[in-house]
Amino acid sequence: MSPMAPPLRKLALTAHVTASVGWLGAVLVFLALAIVGLTSPDAPTVRAVFVAMEPAAWYALVPLAGASLLTGLVQSLGTTWGLFRHYWVLFKLLINVGAIVVLLMYTRTLGHLAGVAAAPDPAPGSLRSPSVLIHAVLAVVLLLLATLLTVYKPRGRLRQ
């Protein structure tokens, strides 16, 4: 694919940055919700947190993650960076795909937790699993790593 014209390249970059920053922001909100869900002494608040997480994952995290992947592919294939020229671009792709796979698998857990939280009388402590917190922290770390790779663009090219 030949490099994009500058106006199109800037539009694609804007879309990629917007989707990626949005994804990171949504994950940070999930982290805040996980902390509230694990620490709040108020049972209705805890239940509300876990009921809200499932649709938030489907309507914010998954679309933003997908948009980040799609716009990143457009960026890499439509610019001189390429998809398989530099290690940092490939590592970002692997981080993105891996995070999306884990996110899609984890939506089942979020659905289960939402079902437990919506039940008329959930068992005490059934929503106090640190799983959501662990996943949110790991997602933040991975997305910040991808951001660092983007900003610093470490040297190193793949063999061609």
Rounded average pLDDT over 21-28: 98
Residue 2, pLDDT above cutoff 70: no
Whose CA is closest to 69, among 33, 117, 15, 115? 15
Q: How confident is the model over 44-82, as pLDDT tens digits?
A: 999 999 999 999 999 999 999 999 999 999 999 988 888
Answer whether 24's CB lies under 8 Å from 62's CB. Answer: no
Answer whether 83's CB lies under 8 Å from 128's CB. Answer: no
Return the percentage of the chain with pLDDT > 90, whole number. Answer: 78
Q: What pLDDT sits at residue 70?
A: 98
Whole-model pTM: value is: 0.92
Write the CA distances from 160 to 82, 83, 90, 151, integer angstroms.
11, 12, 14, 24
Residue 1, pLDDT above cutoff 60: no
3-class secondary structure, 157: strand
3-class secondary structure, 75: helix
- Indicate the average pLDDT of the chain: 93
Residue 86, pLDDT above cutoff 70: yes
Rg (CA), the chain: 18
Rounded average pLDDT over 96-115: 97
Distance CA 62, CA 157 (A): 31
- Residue reference for tokens 């390429």: 82
Q: What pLDDT sits at residue 82?
A: 84
Rounded average pLDDT over 132-146: 97
Contacts of 29 (CB under 8 A, 6+ apart): 56, 60
Q: What pLDDT sits at residue 110?
A: 97
Distance CA 148, CA 71 (A): 18
Dump the DSSP string for 112-139: HHHHHHHSSSPPTTTT--THHHHHHHHH
Phi and psi angles of residue 159, each rounded to the nearest 5 degrees, phi first: -65, 145
Q: How confident is the model over 112-138, as pLDDT tens digits?
A: 999 999 999 888 788 988 999 999 999
